[in-house]
């Protein structure tokens, strides 16, 4: 039986009362809400907003003001909007959308910032290039290309009439800002420009920031500066848990030294069964003194750790664990068709390998500029393949003419209403053109059982079935031969970079069918996810896959967390100086991952010494002897 403390469901009612009282337009009190995993923070957030709307909603409308809410993902935005019945007095957005809304249209301010940023970056690159002794290295070549690209952008900055930005796009072109630039501009100007501060507080007398521990540190500090200067008319509400801080650019000391702030706490875990809460409390005990209580009436639940050697067949090992979990829990969903448990990996490429889209994923993930849109599903080229071409191909192969026609009517310029209207009496020819384009697309899948993305792209482009995104246009040849495009041409044509060109070229050479698994993964429909990507989500059955060898990185180390490797000299130095370490980062990630499980949790570890790992986690009191085993 679990030893975790339990309490009634309304255990955190006092925290909700404090939040409601803080959101007083006449006497606002800024607050930091500590909300542990599964504590129902979204419910508290929505309840507090509903309270303000009921008591002061008319006042907000008359003043043309709104309650601002910043959340971490578009999914979270949609959830809060839905719960608030899409009330127009509440503006819910991601941090990037919020930041852009403050500076959109401020062309000269943006131009000044970009020019200064480019000048500083160019100066640094010139210095690095001048000091380089070996000019044949990839690093040197990348710096030279970056210098050329930034210099061209600086030369053209004066001619930009209007800067553009999409919070969910790749942001290419000479007049486009990237994600980090938008955040940096707002962070700097909120501190330096009183007019921007006034715009913020006049628009949003109440601003609530969810997952505040992972909000960009520079922007968070700017918001704190705004609050300190306007505390009598502006309420800044921060919701989060420093133990769930995943990204390195977040502010690590939220909740400390915040004089005059309310500091409510939600300590009940409504999500998980008791044994799971007990485990995450034990894991967290090495970081701080925060511990959660369970909800009365919850079952004990199950946690198990299975250790394997690095060289085992990992697919077979994870299948074996699922079978064992079905026996241990009596829950046949662990072995049911359709994978009814969630597998969480440390890195996206680990999930890509297991789910079968690694070939197309790896080239794009290697380009830093492409990562954001790759991971959030907003990449225009990938949406082109996943939302237009893929469903058309599947419908054609299934001889489902209705489904194929539905996609083509929605996306194809051949059947666009404007084009059909202009065709007049020749509409029948347009329909025949669309039919021929479909036949040509279907033919390539019959001729080549596994066509590449480039094979498919060229057929679609030649027939005009769909409009090809600008980013992909340079790769299309008119005669089917390889395009001899130079990297510089690519940069000039679509505002890209050398690394982007190589990434797309390599990706287009991979099997087209991988787009199906990628599309499911990026939309949360696959049985796989990453440790970082599931924060805020919950699943009845969770399998956590741990493999330092597969992860390839240096930011996280489970072998160090589990005591199989000693802390490095750098770890000890950083810890002594109060800075983040690989062990601390890994502990937080492990906490987030384990706390996603509602009923049963299986942890699969690959390591050089499985027996030592099992002994270590048992000695630490994280698992009982019956809960951790070494397998072959």
| pLDDT mean across residues, the chain | 88
pLDDT for the residue numbered 111? 96
* 3-state secondary structure string across 261-313: CECCEECEECCCCHHHHHHHHHHHCCCCCCCCEEECCCCCCEEEEEEEECCCC
Of all residues in the chain, what percent carry a pLDDT higher than 70? Answer: 91
pLDDT digits (tens, 9 = 90+) for 59-71: 999 999 999 999 8
Hey, what CATH topology would domain 274-346+531-630 get?
Answer: Rossmann fold (3.40.50)
Place of tokens 């065709």: 423
The answer, yes or no, to whether residue 91 has pLDDT greater than 80, is yes
pLDDT for the residue numbered 526? 82
Q: How confident is the model at residue 579 (pLDDT cuts 50, 70, 90)?
A: confident
Q: pTM to 2 decimals?
A: 0.81
Q: How confident is the model at residue 208 (pLDDT cuts 50, 70, 90)?
A: very high
The answer, yes or no, to whether residue 454 has pLDDT greater than 70, is yes
E strand intervals along 429-586: 528-530, 539-547
Q: What angle do CA 51, 55, 56 make, to 5 degrees?
A: 110
The answer, yes or no, to whether residue 488 has pLDDT greater than 50, is no
Q: Roughly how many angstroms between the first and final C-alpha of the chain, as a whole number?
A: 29
User: Residue 279: is it exposed, middle or buried by C-beta count within 10 angstroms (0-12/13-18/19+)?
Assistant: buried
pLDDT digits (tens, 9 = 90+) for 438-452: 999 999 998 877 899
**Is it true that domain 6-102+184-268 has CATH number 3.20.20.140?**
no
Quote the CA–CA distance of 177 and 375 in Å, as a whole number.
Answer: 19
The answer, yes or no, to whether residue 262 has pLDDT greater than 50, is yes
Strand order in 67-71's β-sheet? 90-94, 67-71, 206-209, 235-240, 31-35, 265-266
């Amino acid at each position: 039986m679990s030893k975790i403390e339990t309490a009634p469901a309304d255990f955190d009612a006092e925290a909700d009362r404090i939040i409601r009282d803080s959101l007083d337009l006449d006497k606002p009190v800024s607050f930091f809400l500590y909300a542990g995993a599964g504590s129902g923070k979204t419910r508290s957030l929505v309840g507090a907003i509903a309270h303000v709307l009921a008591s002061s909603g008319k006042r907000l409308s008359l003043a043309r003001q709104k309650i601002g809410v910043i959340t971490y993902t578009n999914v979270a935005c949609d959830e809060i909007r839905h719960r608030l019945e899409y009330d127009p007095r509440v503006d819910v957005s991601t941090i990037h959308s919020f930041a852009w809304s403050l500076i959109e249209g401020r062309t000269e301010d943006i131009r000044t910032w970009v020019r200064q940023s480019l000048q500083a970056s160019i100066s640094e690159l010139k210095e690095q290039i001048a000091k380089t002794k070996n000019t044949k290295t990839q690093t040197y070549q990348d710096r030279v290309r970056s210098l050329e690209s930034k210099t061209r952008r600086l030369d053209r900055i004066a001619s930009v009439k209007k800067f553009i930005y999409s919070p969910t796009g790749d942001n290419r072109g000479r007049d486009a800002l990237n994600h980090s630039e938008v955040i940096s501009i707002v962070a700097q100007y909120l501190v330096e420009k009183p007019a921007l501060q006034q715009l913020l507080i006049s628009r949003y007398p109440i601003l609530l920031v969810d997952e505040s521990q992972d909000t960009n540190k520079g922007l968070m500090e700017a918001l704190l500066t705004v609050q300190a200067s306007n505390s009598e008319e502006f309420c800044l509400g921060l919701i989060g848990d420093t133990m769930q801080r995943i990204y390195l650019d977040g502010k690590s000391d939220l909740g400390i030294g915040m004089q005059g702030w309310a500091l409510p706490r939600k300590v009940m875990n409504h999500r998980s069964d008791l044994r799971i809460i007990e485990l995450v409390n034990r894991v967290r005990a090495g970081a701080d003194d925060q511990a959660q209580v369970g909800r009365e009436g919850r079952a004990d639940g199950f946690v198990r750790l299975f250790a394997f050697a690095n060289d085992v067949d990992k697919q077979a090992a994870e299948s074996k664990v699922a079978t064992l979990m079905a026996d241990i829990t009596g829950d046949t969903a662990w072995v049911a068709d359709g994978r009814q448990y969630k597998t969480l990996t440390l890195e996206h490429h680990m999930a890509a390998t297991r789910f079968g889209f690694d070939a197309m994923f790896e080239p794009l993930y290697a380009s830093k500029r492409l990562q954001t849109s790759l991971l959030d599903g907003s990449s225009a080229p990938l949406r082109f393949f996943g939302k237009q071409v893929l469903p058309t191909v599947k419908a054609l192969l299934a001889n489902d003419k209705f489904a194929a026609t539905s996609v083509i009517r929605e996306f194809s310029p051949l059947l666009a209403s404007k084009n059909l209207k202009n065709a007049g009496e020749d509409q029948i020819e347009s329909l025949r053109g669309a039919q021929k384009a479909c036949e040509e697309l279907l033919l390539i899948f019959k001729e080549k059982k596994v066509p590449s993305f480039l094979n498919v792209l060229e057929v679609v482009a030649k027939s005009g079935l769909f409009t090809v995104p600008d980013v992909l246009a340079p790769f299309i040849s008119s005669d089917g031969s390889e395009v001899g495009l130079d990297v510089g041409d690519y940069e000039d044509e679509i505002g890209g970079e050398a690394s982007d060109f190589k990434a797309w070229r390599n990706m287009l050479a991979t099997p087209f069918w991988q787009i199906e698994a990628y599309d499911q993964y990026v939309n949360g429909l696959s049985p796989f996810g990453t440790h970082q990507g599931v924060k805020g989500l919950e699943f009845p059955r969770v399998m956590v896959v741990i493999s330092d060898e597969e992860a390839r990185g240096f930011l996280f180390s489970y072998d160090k967390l589990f005591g199989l490797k000693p802390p490095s000299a750098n770890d000890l130095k950083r810890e002594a100086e109060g800075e983040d370490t690989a062990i601390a980062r890994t502990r937080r990630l492990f906490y987030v991952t384990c706390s996603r499980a509602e009923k049963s949790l299986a942890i699969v570890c690959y390591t050089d010494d499985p027996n030592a790992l099992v002994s270590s986690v048992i000695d630490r009191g994280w698992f009982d002897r019956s809960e951790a085993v070494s397998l072959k």
